[in-house]
Amino acid sequence: MPNQLTDLNLLYPEHLATVIARSDRALLRGGFDHLVMPAGTAHYQFLDDRDYPFCVNPHFKHWLPVTRAPGSWLVHTPGRRPRLIYLQPHDYWHVVPEVPAGYWVDHFEITIIRDAREALAHLPNDSARCAIIGEPGAALGDFVPNNPQAVIDLLHYQRAFKTPYELAMMRVASRIGARGHRAAEEAFRNGASEFAIHGAYLAATQLTENELPYGNIIALNEHGAVLHYTDLGRVPPVHPHSFLIDAGGSFHGYASDITRTWAWDRDGEFQDLIDAVEQAQLGFCAQVRAGQSYPDLHLHAHHVLAGVLRDHGFLRMSPESAVESGVSSVFFPHGLGHSIGLQVHDVAGFAADDAGTTIPKPPGHPYLRLTRRLEPGMVTTIEPGLYFVDMLLAELRTRPEARDVDWDRVDAFRRYGGIRIEDDVVCTGGQPENLTRDAFAAIAV
Ligand code: GLY
Ligand code: MN
Ligand code: MN
């Protein structure tokens, strides 16, 4: 692996300059003088003194690799060095956020405060001139988040275009996730329970559950048919047939989102179906190209997967009629993918421009999260799947198209749950960069 920290050190100034330039434009658009971003505050459970895991404001962590700073604030005023008001409370009950250190600190004017209310003395004079982007609970005095739509629209639209620094972060997040996946696969081969596989994943990534970019989906057998299955069975199945794992890594607040599906029997019918989905998935990844409409790629994926269903004996209808009648959506009931970055489902997936215009989803595809045309710098997941979902199959049985389904074959596959294969892919000016495949290759050496 290249020296990550040196790379980040070299790449960070350009990243910050990009974030500043976008912020300046957003302030001009919204008619504000300052961009103010509270990191956020602790959230408490009802009638309890226990707080939920802290989740930093994504606008805050876009500027600097700090994810554990409740009560801190960032202030940007065009033409000035950005200011970090950093809360390090006098507190012997909890771990206090570390002293700011690293490649980014010299780019900020940093003020340490010991009490959250002290931030007020360091925020701009006139809160009415501030675009304050943050959660409502972060309000402090007059500094109540106003989240101006014009400012947010511009920042969110632009956030789809990752800087080289961000891509470096995401390469690391991908390798962390890939290490977890390798350990999870090994645990599956050893007959482990979902819970034990999850433990193996955490150990290999060295992430706590709260540091994962999303809750691990670790599904054995028919559990793979629950798209977001998170139960973590404590007892292994008597007969393992299949394993679907959707789990990512995170690095300084950047996410990876990776899914793999494994067959217990490497020479069996389920492996054949996995191979077909994987071949299709690689074809879709190759189409992550500048100018490609993502909804068109999603619809193309439906046609290809409907062809897989026909070729593997589940359907007796053309891919065209399977897609037109909605039958393909019974087996592939989610979107092909989404933008990813600071949030696993990154913002502005439907943005036509930076002024709030949106691109609608294709009719009949309510779960697609990305309708933009791909451009260099965007990172998207490509995650086709085929599932045997009882609820959706029961509904299909009542429709006229049911006669073109081989129900015996479908029923025989219910025990496998489903297949999803998910990579994170960068759109470039040329060949796509597959962060996930590269990460698996890098950790294999
Ligand atoms: N891990 C959730 C997703 O793939 O979108
Ligand atoms: Mn995903
Ligand atoms: Mn996923």
pLDDT 10s digits, 312-349: 999 999 999 999 999 999 999 999 999 999 999 999 99
How many angstroms separate the CA atoms of 247 and 218, rounded?
8
- Rounded to the nearest angstrom, the distance between the alpha carbon of 254 and the centre of ligand 1 is 14
Domain boundary among the residues 119, 137, 159 is at 159
- Rounded to the nearest angstrom, the distance between the alpha carbon of 360 and the centre of ligand 3 is 23
> What CATH code is carried by the domain that includes residue 130?
3.40.350.10
- Rounded to the nearest angstrom, the distance between the alpha carbon of 49 and the centre of ligand 2 is 34
How many angstroms separate the CA atoms of 311 and 222, rounded?
22
- Rounded to the nearest angstrom, the distance between the alpha carbon of 389 and the centre of ligand 3 is 18
User: Is 1 among the domain residues?
Assistant: no
- Decide if pLDDT at 157 tops 50: yes
Residue 421 sits in the same domain as residue 287: yes
- Decide if pLDDT at 3 tops 60: no
- Pocket perturbation via mutation, ligand 1, pick of 230, 298, 343, 344 by most ligand atoms within 8 A of CB: 344
Q: Is 246 in the pocket of ligand 1 (CB under 6 A)?
A: yes
User: Is 173 among the domain residues?
Assistant: yes
Region 17-37 average pLDDT: 98
Q: Ligand 1: which atom is nearest the Cα of residue 345?
A: 5
- Decide if pLDDT at 86 tops 60: yes
Q: Ligand 1: which atom is nearest the Cα of residue 369?
A: 5
Residue 193 sits in the same domain as residue 256: yes
- Rounded to the nearest angstrom, the distance between the alpha carbon of 381 and the centre of ligand 3 is 8
pLDDT of residue 1: 46
Query: Which ligand places an atom closest to the C-alpha of 424?
Result: 2
User: Is 129 among the domain residues?
Assistant: yes
Residue closest by Cα to atom 3 of ligand 1: 257
| Confidence band of 267 (pLDDT split at 50, 70, 90) | very high
Residue 195 sits in the same domain as residue 155: no
Residue 183 sits in the same domain as residue 128: no
- Number of residues in the chain: 445
Residue 346 sits in the same domain as residue 427: yes
| Confidence band of 445 (pLDDT split at 50, 70, 90) | confident
Buried b / exposed e over 264-298, threshold 16 CB at 10 Å, is beeeeebbebbebbeebbeebbebbbeebebbebb
How many angstroms separate the CA atoms of 10 and 7, rounded?
5
pLDDT of residue 106: 97
- Rounded to the nearest angstrom, the distance between the alpha carbon of 257 and the centre of ligand 1 is 6
Q: Is 423 in the pocket of ligand 1 (CB under 6 A)?
A: no
Q: Ligand 1: which atom is nearest the Cα of residue 422?
A: 4
pLDDT of residue 98: 87
Region 376-395 average pLDDT: 98
Q: Residues 379, 312: contact at Cβ < 8 Å?
A: no
Domain boundary among the residues 128, 159, 190 is at 159
User: Is 147 among the domain residues?
Assistant: yes
Provide the annotated binding site: 246, 257, 338, 383, 422
For the chain, the domain total comes to 2
Residue 129 sits in the same domain as residue 191: no
Domain boundary among the residues 137, 159, 181 is at 159
For a pLDDT cut of 70, what percent of the chain falls above it? 99
Q: How far is CA 91 from CA 97, 114, 138, in A?
A: 10, 9, 20
Residue 125 sits in the same domain as residue 192: no
- Decide if pLDDT at 116 tops 90: yes
Domain span including residue 234: 164-443
- Rounded to the nearest angstrom, the distance between the alpha carbon of 77 and the centre of ligand 1 is 36
- Decide if pLDDT at 55 tops 50: yes
Q: Ligand 1: which atom is nearest the Cα of residue 337?
A: 5
Q: What does 58-109 look like in DSSP terms, one character per residue? A: HHHHTTSS----TT-EEEE-TTS--EEEEE----SSSPPPPPP-STTGGGSE
pLDDT 10s digits, 165-216: 999 999 999 999 999 999 999 999 999 999 999 999 999 999 999 999 999 9
Q: In terms of Cα–Cα distance, which of 418, 442, 436, 424 is closest to 217?
A: 418
Residue 89 sits in the same domain as residue 174: no
- Rounded to the nearest angstrom, the distance between the alpha carbon of 258 and the centre of ligand 3 is 5
Residue 322 sits in the same domain as residue 234: yes
Tell me the Cα Rg of the chain.
Answer: 23
- Decide if pLDDT at 2 tops 60: no
Q: Is 383 in the pocket of ligand 1 (CB under 6 A)?
A: yes
Q: In terms of Cα–Cα distance, which of 188, 173, 163, 185 is closest to 257?
A: 173
- Decide if pLDDT at 248 tops 70: yes
> What CATH code is carried by the domain that includes residue 207?
3.90.230.10
Q: Order across the sheet with 242-247: list the strands.
A: 217-220, 242-247, 258-263
Residue 186 sits in the same domain as residue 120: no
Q: Ligand 1: which atom is nearest the Cα of residue 420?
A: 4
How many angstroms separate the CA atoms of 27 and 167, rounded?
26
- Decide if pLDDT at 274 tops 70: yes
Q: Ligand 1: which atom is nearest the Cα of residue 248?
A: 1
pLDDT of residue 279: 98
Residue 154 sits in the same domain as residue 171: no
pLDDT of residue 388: 98
User: Is 136 among the domain residues?
Assistant: yes
User: Is 330 among the domain residues?
Assistant: yes
What's the whole-number average pLDDT of the chain?
Answer: 97
Q: Ligand 1: which atom is nearest the Cα of residue 246?
A: 1
For a pLDDT cut of 90, what percent of the chain falls above it? 97
pLDDT of residue 5: 62
Q: Is 346 in the pocket of ligand 1 (CB under 6 A)?
A: no
- Pocket perturbation via mutation, ligand 1, pick of 245, 257, 336 by most ligand atoms within 8 A of CB: 257
- Decide if pLDDT at 120 tops 50: yes
Residue 105 sits in the same domain as residue 195: no
- Pocket perturbation via mutation, ligand 1, pick of 201, 217, 230, 343 by most ligand atoms within 8 A of CB: 217
SS (H, E, C) 361-384: CCCCCCCCCCCCECCCCCEEEECC
User: Is 352 among the domain residues?
Assistant: yes
User: Is 2 among the domain residues?
Assistant: no
Provide the annotated binding site for Mn(2+): 246, 257, 338, 383, 422
- Rounded to the nearest angstrom, the distance between the alpha carbon of 83 and the centre of ligand 3 is 35
pLDDT 10s digits, 285-297: 999 999 999 999 9
Residue closest by Cα to atom 4 of ligand 1: 257
